[in-house]
A and B are shown apart, each in its own frame.
Chain A
Amino acid sequence: MNAEVKPRVIVIDDEHEVRTWLKGLLTTLGCEIVGEAENGREGLELFMKERPDLVLLDLMMPVMTGAETRKFILGEDPDAHIVLLTSVTDEKVVMAEFFAGVEYYLRKDRSPDEIKAALQENIEKVKSNLGKSRDNE
Protein backbone atom coordinates (compact mmCIF):
# COMPACT_ATOMS: atom_id res chain seq x y z
CA MET A 1 0.00 0.00 0.00
CA ASN A 2 1.42 3.34 -0.99
CA ALA A 3 1.94 6.09 1.54
CA GLU A 4 -0.97 8.54 1.46
CA VAL A 5 -0.07 11.03 -1.23
CA LYS A 6 -1.43 14.57 -1.22
CA PRO A 7 -2.44 15.61 -4.73
CA ARG A 8 -1.00 18.96 -5.74
CA VAL A 9 -3.74 21.25 -7.07
CA ILE A 10 -4.04 24.61 -8.77
CA VAL A 11 -7.28 26.61 -9.00
CA ILE A 12 -7.92 28.87 -12.00
CA ASP A 13 -11.02 31.07 -11.67
CA ASP A 14 -11.52 34.79 -12.18
CA GLU A 15 -13.47 35.22 -8.94
CA HIS A 16 -11.44 35.63 -5.78
CA GLU A 17 -14.14 34.23 -3.50
CA VAL A 18 -14.70 31.15 -5.66
CA ARG A 19 -10.97 30.42 -5.38
CA THR A 20 -11.08 30.92 -1.60
CA TRP A 21 -13.99 28.52 -1.35
CA LEU A 22 -12.53 25.81 -3.57
CA LYS A 23 -9.08 26.03 -2.02
CA GLY A 24 -10.66 25.54 1.41
CA LEU A 25 -12.73 22.62 0.16
CA LEU A 26 -9.81 20.92 -1.57
CA THR A 27 -7.70 21.29 1.56
CA THR A 28 -10.32 19.59 3.72
CA LEU A 29 -10.40 16.81 1.13
CA GLY A 30 -6.69 16.19 1.58
CA CYS A 31 -5.11 18.18 -1.24
CA GLU A 32 -2.17 20.55 -1.29
CA ILE A 33 -2.87 23.87 -2.99
CA VAL A 34 0.25 24.85 -4.89
CA GLY A 35 -1.13 27.91 -6.62
CA GLU A 36 -4.08 29.88 -7.96
CA ALA A 37 -4.64 32.12 -10.94
CA GLU A 38 -7.33 34.56 -12.00
CA ASN A 39 -7.17 34.15 -15.75
CA GLY A 40 -6.19 31.55 -18.30
CA ARG A 41 -2.88 33.08 -19.23
CA GLU A 42 -1.65 33.18 -15.64
CA GLY A 43 -3.11 29.72 -15.13
CA LEU A 44 -1.09 28.33 -18.00
CA GLU A 45 2.11 29.88 -16.65
CA LEU A 46 1.32 28.45 -13.23
CA PHE A 47 0.70 25.01 -14.70
CA MET A 48 4.04 25.01 -16.47
CA LYS A 49 5.85 26.15 -13.33
CA GLU A 50 4.20 23.79 -10.82
CA ARG A 51 3.12 20.79 -12.91
CA PRO A 52 0.25 20.01 -10.51
CA ASP A 53 -1.61 16.69 -10.33
CA LEU A 54 -5.01 18.31 -10.59
CA VAL A 55 -6.27 21.49 -12.23
CA LEU A 56 -9.58 23.17 -11.44
CA LEU A 57 -10.38 25.42 -14.38
CA ASP A 58 -13.26 27.87 -14.72
CA LEU A 59 -14.94 27.92 -18.11
CA MET A 60 -15.99 31.57 -18.23
CA MET A 61 -13.02 33.89 -17.85
CA PRO A 62 -11.78 37.05 -19.53
CA VAL A 63 -8.46 37.30 -21.40
CA MET A 64 -8.35 33.57 -22.23
CA THR A 65 -11.43 31.36 -21.84
CA GLY A 66 -11.39 28.07 -19.94
CA ALA A 67 -11.79 26.16 -23.18
CA GLU A 68 -8.73 27.79 -24.72
CA THR A 69 -6.69 27.42 -21.55
CA ARG A 70 -7.55 23.74 -21.40
CA LYS A 71 -6.31 23.23 -24.94
CA PHE A 72 -2.99 24.89 -24.10
CA ILE A 73 -2.53 22.89 -20.90
CA LEU A 74 -3.30 19.62 -22.71
CA GLY A 75 -0.83 20.72 -25.34
CA GLU A 76 1.79 20.94 -22.62
CA ASP A 77 0.73 17.68 -20.96
CA PRO A 78 -1.87 15.47 -22.63
CA ASP A 79 -2.36 13.52 -19.38
CA ALA A 80 -3.18 16.58 -17.27
CA HIS A 81 -6.24 15.98 -15.12
CA ILE A 82 -8.39 19.05 -15.66
CA VAL A 83 -11.76 19.56 -14.04
CA LEU A 84 -13.79 22.27 -15.77
CA LEU A 85 -15.81 24.46 -13.44
CA THR A 86 -19.14 25.41 -14.90
CA SER A 87 -22.51 26.88 -14.11
CA VAL A 88 -25.87 25.77 -15.46
CA THR A 89 -25.86 28.63 -17.94
CA ASP A 90 -22.66 27.28 -19.46
CA GLU A 91 -24.32 23.94 -20.19
CA LYS A 92 -24.29 24.32 -23.98
CA VAL A 93 -20.60 25.21 -24.01
CA VAL A 94 -19.84 22.28 -21.73
CA MET A 95 -21.74 19.85 -23.93
CA ALA A 96 -19.73 21.07 -26.88
CA GLU A 97 -16.56 20.55 -24.87
CA PHE A 98 -17.69 17.06 -23.91
CA PHE A 99 -17.88 16.08 -27.50
CA ALA A 100 -14.39 17.50 -27.82
CA GLY A 101 -13.17 15.01 -25.23
CA VAL A 102 -13.56 16.75 -21.89
CA GLU A 103 -13.80 14.10 -19.24
CA TYR A 104 -14.29 15.97 -16.04
CA TYR A 105 -16.45 18.89 -15.16
CA LEU A 106 -17.98 20.25 -12.01
CA ARG A 107 -21.15 22.32 -11.72
CA LYS A 108 -20.45 25.08 -9.23
CA ASP A 109 -24.15 25.59 -8.67
CA ARG A 110 -24.91 22.06 -7.52
CA SER A 111 -25.42 21.42 -3.83
CA PRO A 112 -22.33 21.51 -1.59
CA ASP A 113 -22.64 17.74 -1.01
CA GLU A 114 -22.71 17.00 -4.72
CA ILE A 115 -19.73 19.27 -5.32
CA LYS A 116 -17.80 17.59 -2.52
CA ALA A 117 -18.62 14.14 -3.91
CA ALA A 118 -17.60 15.15 -7.43
CA LEU A 119 -14.29 16.56 -6.20
CA GLN A 120 -13.62 13.46 -4.11
CA GLU A 121 -14.17 11.29 -7.15
CA ASN A 122 -11.63 13.29 -9.11
CA ILE A 123 -9.17 13.29 -6.22
CA GLU A 124 -9.41 9.49 -5.89
CA LYS A 125 -8.73 9.12 -9.59
CA VAL A 126 -5.69 11.38 -9.36
CA LYS A 127 -4.40 9.50 -6.30
CA SER A 128 -4.76 6.15 -7.98
CA ASN A 129 -2.96 7.47 -11.07
CA LEU A 130 -0.18 8.81 -8.87
CA GLY A 131 -0.01 5.43 -7.16
CA LYS A 132 0.28 3.70 -10.51
CA SER A 133 3.07 5.92 -11.76
CA ARG A 134 4.88 5.38 -8.47
CA ASP A 135 4.60 1.63 -8.99
CA ASN A 136 6.04 2.05 -12.45
CA GLU A 137 9.13 3.87 -11.22
Chain B
Amino acid sequence: MAKKKTPPKKALEDGGEALLAQTVQNIARGDFSSLEDLYALPGMDGVAPEVADLAESMGLILVKLEAREFHLENAAEVEERLKALNKLKDKHLGIAAHDLRNPISTIRGMSHMLVESELDDDTRRSFLESINAVSEQMLILVDDLLDVSVIESGKFDLTQIPGNLSTLIHERAELMAINAKDKDITLTTALDEVPDLPIDVDRMRHVIDNLLSNAVKFSPSGTTVHVSCEQKDDGLVFSVADQGPGIPQKDMDKLFGVFQKLDIQPTAGEKSTGLGLSIAKRIVDAHGGSILVESAVGKGSTFTVTIPIER
Protein backbone atom coordinates (compact mmCIF):
# COMPACT_ATOMS: atom_id res chain seq x y z
CA MET B 1 0.00 0.00 0.00
CA ALA B 2 1.33 3.37 -1.01
CA LYS B 3 1.91 6.09 1.47
CA LYS B 4 -1.02 8.37 1.64
CA LYS B 5 -0.53 12.08 1.62
CA THR B 6 -3.99 13.00 2.61
CA PRO B 7 -6.15 10.46 4.38
CA PRO B 8 -8.84 9.29 1.93
CA LYS B 9 -11.51 9.82 4.54
CA LYS B 10 -10.77 13.50 4.48
CA ALA B 11 -10.83 13.57 0.70
CA LEU B 12 -14.20 11.90 0.72
CA GLU B 13 -15.57 14.28 3.27
CA ASP B 14 -14.88 17.07 0.80
CA GLY B 15 -17.81 16.02 -1.34
CA GLY B 16 -16.06 12.95 -2.54
CA GLU B 17 -18.59 10.64 -0.88
CA ALA B 18 -21.28 11.53 -3.29
CA LEU B 19 -18.89 11.18 -6.18
CA LEU B 20 -17.75 7.81 -4.89
CA ALA B 21 -21.33 6.63 -4.60
CA GLN B 22 -22.06 7.87 -8.09
CA THR B 23 -18.89 6.30 -9.46
CA VAL B 24 -19.76 2.92 -7.97
CA GLN B 25 -23.24 3.10 -9.47
CA ASN B 26 -21.77 4.05 -12.83
CA ILE B 27 -19.30 1.19 -12.77
CA ALA B 28 -22.20 -1.15 -12.08
CA ARG B 29 -23.63 0.01 -15.37
CA GLY B 30 -20.28 -0.49 -17.08
CA ASP B 31 -19.52 3.21 -17.13
CA PHE B 32 -16.01 3.96 -15.90
CA SER B 33 -15.95 7.62 -16.90
CA SER B 34 -16.35 9.18 -13.43
CA LEU B 35 -13.27 7.35 -12.16
CA GLU B 36 -11.14 10.20 -13.51
CA ASP B 37 -13.00 12.72 -11.39
CA LEU B 38 -12.65 10.46 -8.36
CA TYR B 39 -8.91 10.22 -8.84
CA ALA B 40 -8.72 13.98 -9.19
CA LEU B 41 -10.03 14.54 -5.66
CA PRO B 42 -7.29 15.80 -3.31
CA GLY B 43 -6.04 13.00 -1.16
CA MET B 44 -7.25 10.36 -3.51
CA ASP B 45 -3.92 9.96 -5.23
CA GLY B 46 -2.83 7.69 -2.40
CA VAL B 47 -5.69 5.31 -2.76
CA ALA B 48 -6.20 5.87 -6.42
CA PRO B 49 -4.19 2.77 -7.44
CA GLU B 50 -6.34 0.53 -5.18
CA VAL B 51 -9.49 2.08 -6.48
CA ALA B 52 -8.21 1.69 -9.98
CA ASP B 53 -7.47 -1.99 -9.34
CA LEU B 54 -10.88 -2.48 -7.82
CA ALA B 55 -12.52 -0.73 -10.72
CA GLU B 56 -10.56 -2.81 -13.16
CA SER B 57 -11.54 -6.04 -11.41
CA MET B 58 -15.17 -4.97 -11.32
CA GLY B 59 -14.94 -4.05 -14.96
CA LEU B 60 -13.55 -7.42 -15.81
CA ILE B 61 -16.31 -9.14 -13.84
CA LEU B 62 -18.87 -7.14 -15.79
CA VAL B 63 -17.36 -8.00 -19.11
CA LYS B 64 -17.30 -11.68 -18.22
CA LEU B 65 -20.89 -11.54 -17.05
CA GLU B 66 -21.93 -9.92 -20.29
CA ALA B 67 -20.12 -12.55 -22.29
CA ARG B 68 -21.79 -15.31 -20.26
CA GLU B 69 -25.24 -13.81 -20.77
CA PHE B 70 -24.62 -13.76 -24.48
CA HIS B 71 -23.66 -17.43 -24.46
CA LEU B 72 -26.67 -18.29 -22.38
CA GLU B 73 -28.96 -16.88 -25.03
CA ASN B 74 -27.26 -18.97 -27.66
CA ALA B 75 -27.43 -21.99 -25.36
CA ALA B 76 -31.21 -21.73 -25.20
CA GLU B 77 -31.43 -21.75 -28.98
CA VAL B 78 -29.03 -24.64 -29.23
CA GLU B 79 -31.05 -26.56 -26.67
CA GLU B 80 -34.26 -25.98 -28.62
CA ARG B 81 -32.65 -27.21 -31.80
CA LEU B 82 -31.24 -30.29 -30.07
CA LYS B 83 -34.61 -31.10 -28.53
CA ALA B 84 -36.29 -30.85 -31.92
CA LEU B 85 -33.67 -33.08 -33.55
CA ASN B 86 -33.99 -35.58 -30.76
CA LYS B 87 -37.75 -35.72 -31.21
CA LEU B 88 -37.30 -36.23 -34.93
CA LYS B 89 -34.82 -39.02 -34.32
CA ASP B 90 -37.20 -40.72 -31.91
CA LYS B 91 -40.04 -40.43 -34.41
CA HIS B 92 -37.93 -41.98 -37.15
CA LEU B 93 -36.72 -44.72 -34.86
CA GLY B 94 -40.30 -45.46 -33.90
CA ILE B 95 -41.46 -45.71 -37.47
CA ALA B 96 -38.39 -47.73 -38.46
CA ALA B 97 -38.91 -50.14 -35.59
CA HIS B 98 -42.54 -50.52 -36.59
CA ASP B 99 -41.62 -51.16 -40.20
CA LEU B 100 -39.04 -53.74 -39.21
CA ARG B 101 -41.32 -55.58 -36.79
CA ASN B 102 -43.58 -57.12 -39.40
CA PRO B 103 -40.75 -58.53 -41.51
CA ILE B 104 -39.06 -59.87 -38.37
CA SER B 105 -42.27 -61.48 -37.08
CA THR B 106 -42.85 -63.03 -40.47
CA ILE B 107 -39.36 -64.51 -40.73
CA ARG B 108 -39.60 -65.73 -37.18
CA GLY B 109 -43.00 -67.32 -37.68
CA MET B 110 -42.08 -68.98 -40.94
CA SER B 111 -38.71 -70.32 -39.83
CA HIS B 112 -40.32 -71.65 -36.67
CA MET B 113 -42.78 -73.63 -38.75
CA LEU B 114 -40.08 -74.81 -41.13
CA VAL B 115 -38.34 -76.33 -38.13
CA GLU B 116 -41.33 -77.55 -36.10
CA SER B 117 -44.13 -78.44 -38.46
CA GLU B 118 -44.85 -80.85 -41.23
CA LEU B 119 -45.32 -78.64 -44.24
CA ASP B 120 -46.15 -79.64 -47.79
CA ASP B 121 -43.60 -78.83 -50.48
CA ASP B 122 -45.50 -75.84 -51.88
CA THR B 123 -45.82 -74.21 -48.47
CA ARG B 124 -42.20 -74.90 -47.63
CA ARG B 125 -41.09 -73.33 -50.90
CA SER B 126 -43.26 -70.25 -50.53
CA PHE B 127 -42.02 -69.77 -46.95
CA LEU B 128 -38.39 -69.91 -48.06
CA GLU B 129 -39.08 -67.48 -50.92
CA SER B 130 -40.80 -65.13 -48.53
CA ILE B 131 -37.98 -65.25 -46.00
CA ASN B 132 -35.63 -64.35 -48.83
CA ALA B 133 -37.77 -61.47 -50.07
CA VAL B 134 -38.41 -60.11 -46.60
CA SER B 135 -34.70 -60.10 -45.70
CA GLU B 136 -34.02 -58.04 -48.82
CA GLN B 137 -36.73 -55.59 -47.80
CA MET B 138 -35.28 -55.15 -44.34
CA LEU B 139 -31.84 -54.51 -45.76
CA ILE B 140 -33.19 -51.82 -48.07
CA LEU B 141 -35.05 -50.21 -45.20
CA VAL B 142 -32.00 -50.15 -42.98
CA ASP B 143 -29.85 -48.71 -45.78
CA ASP B 144 -32.43 -46.04 -46.51
CA LEU B 145 -32.67 -45.21 -42.83
CA LEU B 146 -28.95 -44.71 -42.57
CA ASP B 147 -29.10 -42.52 -45.65
CA VAL B 148 -31.89 -40.36 -44.36
CA SER B 149 -30.37 -39.93 -40.93
CA VAL B 150 -27.05 -38.87 -42.41
CA ILE B 151 -28.80 -36.46 -44.73
CA GLU B 152 -31.07 -35.01 -42.05
CA SER B 153 -28.25 -34.55 -39.56
CA GLY B 154 -26.78 -32.26 -42.18
CA LYS B 155 -23.56 -34.19 -42.22
CA PHE B 156 -23.84 -35.21 -45.78
CA ASP B 157 -21.20 -34.10 -48.20
CA LEU B 158 -21.40 -34.30 -51.93
CA THR B 159 -18.43 -35.65 -53.83
CA GLN B 160 -18.82 -33.76 -57.06
CA ILE B 161 -16.96 -34.79 -60.17
CA PRO B 162 -17.81 -34.05 -63.81
CA GLY B 163 -20.55 -36.45 -64.84
CA ASN B 164 -22.99 -36.76 -67.68
CA LEU B 165 -26.64 -36.93 -66.69
CA SER B 166 -27.87 -38.33 -70.00
CA THR B 167 -25.32 -41.12 -69.92
CA LEU B 168 -26.15 -41.93 -66.31
CA ILE B 169 -29.89 -41.96 -67.00
CA HIS B 170 -29.39 -44.14 -70.07
CA GLU B 171 -27.44 -46.67 -68.01
CA ARG B 172 -30.03 -46.83 -65.24
CA ALA B 173 -32.94 -46.93 -67.67
CA GLU B 174 -31.44 -49.94 -69.45
CA LEU B 175 -31.30 -51.79 -66.14
CA MET B 176 -34.80 -50.73 -65.14
CA ALA B 177 -36.19 -51.77 -68.53
CA ILE B 178 -35.56 -55.39 -67.54
CA ASN B 179 -37.72 -55.05 -64.41
CA ALA B 180 -40.30 -53.15 -66.39
CA LYS B 181 -40.52 -55.91 -68.97
CA ASP B 182 -41.50 -58.38 -66.22
CA LYS B 183 -44.54 -56.23 -65.59
CA ASP B 184 -45.14 -55.69 -69.30
CA ILE B 185 -44.28 -52.00 -68.95
CA THR B 186 -42.41 -50.21 -71.75
CA LEU B 187 -39.61 -47.83 -70.86
CA THR B 188 -38.89 -45.19 -73.50
CA THR B 189 -36.21 -42.52 -73.45
CA ALA B 190 -35.48 -39.19 -75.13
CA LEU B 191 -32.03 -38.26 -73.84
CA ASP B 192 -30.39 -35.26 -75.51
CA GLU B 193 -26.66 -34.77 -75.58
CA VAL B 194 -25.96 -32.61 -72.60
CA PRO B 195 -22.77 -31.09 -71.22
CA ASP B 196 -20.93 -32.71 -68.33
CA LEU B 197 -21.68 -31.24 -64.94
CA PRO B 198 -20.09 -31.54 -61.50
CA ILE B 199 -22.41 -33.95 -59.72
CA ASP B 200 -22.22 -36.54 -56.98
CA VAL B 201 -22.56 -39.47 -59.35
CA ASP B 202 -23.45 -42.11 -56.74
CA ARG B 203 -26.14 -39.95 -55.21
CA MET B 204 -27.56 -38.82 -58.53
CA ARG B 205 -27.74 -42.48 -59.54
CA HIS B 206 -29.77 -43.02 -56.38
CA VAL B 207 -32.18 -40.24 -57.37
CA ILE B 208 -32.61 -41.60 -60.90
CA ASP B 209 -33.11 -45.14 -59.63
CA ASN B 210 -35.71 -43.96 -57.16
CA LEU B 211 -37.74 -42.06 -59.75
CA LEU B 212 -37.52 -44.87 -62.28
CA SER B 213 -38.40 -47.57 -59.78
CA ASN B 214 -41.36 -45.58 -58.43
CA ALA B 215 -42.68 -45.09 -61.96
CA VAL B 216 -42.45 -48.81 -62.69
CA LYS B 217 -43.79 -49.82 -59.26
CA PHE B 218 -46.92 -47.74 -59.54
CA SER B 219 -47.66 -48.37 -63.22
CA PRO B 220 -50.14 -50.97 -64.32
CA SER B 221 -49.27 -53.59 -66.92
CA GLY B 222 -49.25 -52.50 -70.52
CA THR B 223 -48.36 -48.86 -69.89
CA THR B 224 -45.31 -46.78 -70.78
CA VAL B 225 -42.80 -44.94 -68.64
CA HIS B 226 -41.02 -42.14 -70.48
CA VAL B 227 -37.72 -40.60 -69.44
CA SER B 228 -36.23 -37.47 -70.95
CA CYS B 229 -33.19 -35.29 -70.41
CA GLU B 230 -32.37 -31.95 -72.04
CA GLN B 231 -30.72 -28.64 -71.44
CA LYS B 232 -33.08 -25.76 -70.74
CA ASP B 233 -31.73 -22.24 -70.23
CA ASP B 234 -29.11 -22.61 -67.56
CA GLY B 235 -30.01 -25.99 -66.23
CA LEU B 236 -30.23 -29.63 -67.08
CA VAL B 237 -33.74 -30.98 -66.78
CA PHE B 238 -34.65 -34.62 -66.62
CA SER B 239 -38.07 -36.06 -66.07
CA VAL B 240 -39.78 -39.42 -65.54
CA ALA B 241 -43.39 -39.71 -66.64
CA ASP B 242 -45.67 -42.64 -65.87
CA GLN B 243 -49.23 -43.61 -66.72
CA GLY B 244 -49.99 -44.84 -63.23
CA PRO B 245 -52.90 -43.90 -60.97
CA GLY B 246 -51.67 -40.35 -60.35
CA ILE B 247 -51.33 -38.66 -56.99
CA PRO B 248 -54.37 -37.14 -55.27
CA GLN B 249 -54.11 -33.45 -54.42
CA LYS B 250 -54.41 -34.22 -50.70
CA ASP B 251 -51.22 -36.27 -50.80
CA MET B 252 -49.07 -33.78 -52.69
CA ASP B 253 -47.80 -32.17 -49.51
CA LYS B 254 -46.55 -35.35 -47.94
CA LEU B 255 -44.96 -36.70 -51.09
CA PHE B 256 -41.41 -35.80 -50.13
CA GLY B 257 -41.88 -36.39 -46.41
CA VAL B 258 -40.01 -39.04 -44.54
CA PHE B 259 -41.77 -42.41 -44.14
CA GLN B 260 -44.81 -41.15 -45.99
CA LYS B 261 -46.60 -43.88 -47.84
CA LEU B 262 -49.64 -42.94 -49.80
CA ASP B 263 -52.86 -44.89 -50.22
CA ILE B 264 -51.98 -45.89 -53.77
CA GLN B 265 -50.31 -49.28 -53.84
CA PRO B 266 -47.56 -50.67 -56.04
CA THR B 267 -49.28 -52.63 -58.77
CA ALA B 268 -47.40 -55.91 -58.31
CA GLY B 269 -47.22 -55.96 -54.52
CA GLU B 270 -43.76 -54.44 -54.42
CA LYS B 271 -42.44 -52.90 -51.23
CA SER B 272 -41.95 -49.24 -50.42
CA THR B 273 -39.96 -47.82 -47.52
CA GLY B 274 -41.51 -44.39 -47.80
CA LEU B 275 -38.04 -42.87 -47.74
CA GLY B 276 -37.00 -42.81 -51.40
CA LEU B 277 -38.47 -39.47 -52.44
CA SER B 278 -37.39 -37.67 -49.28
CA ILE B 279 -33.82 -38.82 -49.83
CA ALA B 280 -34.02 -37.92 -53.52
CA LYS B 281 -35.26 -34.43 -52.74
CA ARG B 282 -32.47 -33.78 -50.28
CA ILE B 283 -29.87 -34.92 -52.76
CA VAL B 284 -31.31 -32.70 -55.49
CA ASP B 285 -31.54 -29.75 -53.09
CA ALA B 286 -27.92 -30.25 -52.12
CA HIS B 287 -27.00 -29.89 -55.80
CA GLY B 288 -28.78 -26.55 -55.82
CA GLY B 289 -31.54 -28.05 -57.90
CA SER B 290 -35.24 -28.69 -57.58
CA ILE B 291 -37.63 -31.58 -57.96
CA LEU B 292 -41.23 -31.04 -58.97
CA VAL B 293 -44.17 -33.29 -59.62
CA GLU B 294 -47.13 -32.88 -61.92
CA SER B 295 -49.89 -35.33 -61.30
CA ALA B 296 -53.63 -35.86 -61.20
CA VAL B 297 -55.73 -38.87 -60.28
CA GLY B 298 -56.23 -41.05 -63.33
CA LYS B 299 -53.71 -39.08 -65.36
CA GLY B 300 -50.33 -40.44 -64.24
CA SER B 301 -47.41 -38.53 -62.77
CA THR B 302 -44.37 -36.71 -64.06
CA PHE B 303 -41.41 -36.01 -61.80
CA THR B 304 -39.04 -33.33 -63.07
CA VAL B 305 -35.57 -32.64 -61.70
CA THR B 306 -33.67 -29.49 -62.60
CA ILE B 307 -29.96 -29.16 -61.85
CA PRO B 308 -28.44 -25.72 -62.47
CA ILE B 309 -25.25 -25.59 -64.49
CA GLU B 310 -23.82 -22.62 -62.62
CA ARG B 311 -23.80 -22.98 -58.86
Contact = CB atoms under 8 A, between A and B. Distances in A.
Nearest to A14: B265
B102 A15 contact: yes
B298 interface: no
A131 B103 CA distance: 36
Interface residues of A, number: 24
A15 B261 CA distance: 14
A20 B263 contact: no
Nearest to B123: A24
A18 B102 contact: yes
Interface stretch (B1-9, B112-120, B147-155): B112-120
Interface stretch (B61-69, B93-101, B178-186, B235-243): B93-101
B309 to A, nearest CB: 41
Given A16-B269, A28-B118, A28-B119, A89 B109 contact: no
Interface in A7-28: 15-18, 20-22, 24-25, 27-28
Contacts, number: 69
B265 A62 contact: yes
A17 B109 CA distance: 11
Contact of A24 (B110, B133, B263): B110
A108 B102 contact: yes
B71 interface: no
Given A24-B113, A25-B113, A112-B112, A17 B106 contact: yes
Interface in A101-131: 108-109, 111-113, 115
Contacts of B103: 17
A88 interface: yes
| Range of interface residues on B (Cβ < 8 Å) | 20 to 34
Contacts of B262: 62
B105 A109 contact: yes
B261 A21 contact: no
Contacts of A27: 123
A89 B101 CA distance: 9
Given A25-B113, A108-B105, A109-B105, A17 B98 contact: no
A112 B269 CA distance: 25
B74 interface: no
A62 B261 CA distance: 9
Given A15-B106, A17-B130, A24-B119, 13 more contacts: A17-B103, A17-B110, A21-B105, A21-B106, A25-B109, A27-B123, A28-B117, A62-B263, A87-B98, A87-B105, A109-B104, A111-B108, A112-B112
15 contacts: A15-B102, A15-B106, A16-B130, A18-B102, A20-B110, A21-B127, A24-B110, A24-B113, A24-B126, A25-B113, A28-B119, A62-B265, A87-B105, A88-B101, A108-B102
Interface of B: 94, 97-98, 101-106, 108-110, 112-113, 117-119, 123, 126-127, 130, 133-134, 261-263, 265, 269
Interface of A: 15-18, 20-22, 24-25, 27-28, 38-39, 62-63, 87-89, 108-109, 111-113, 115
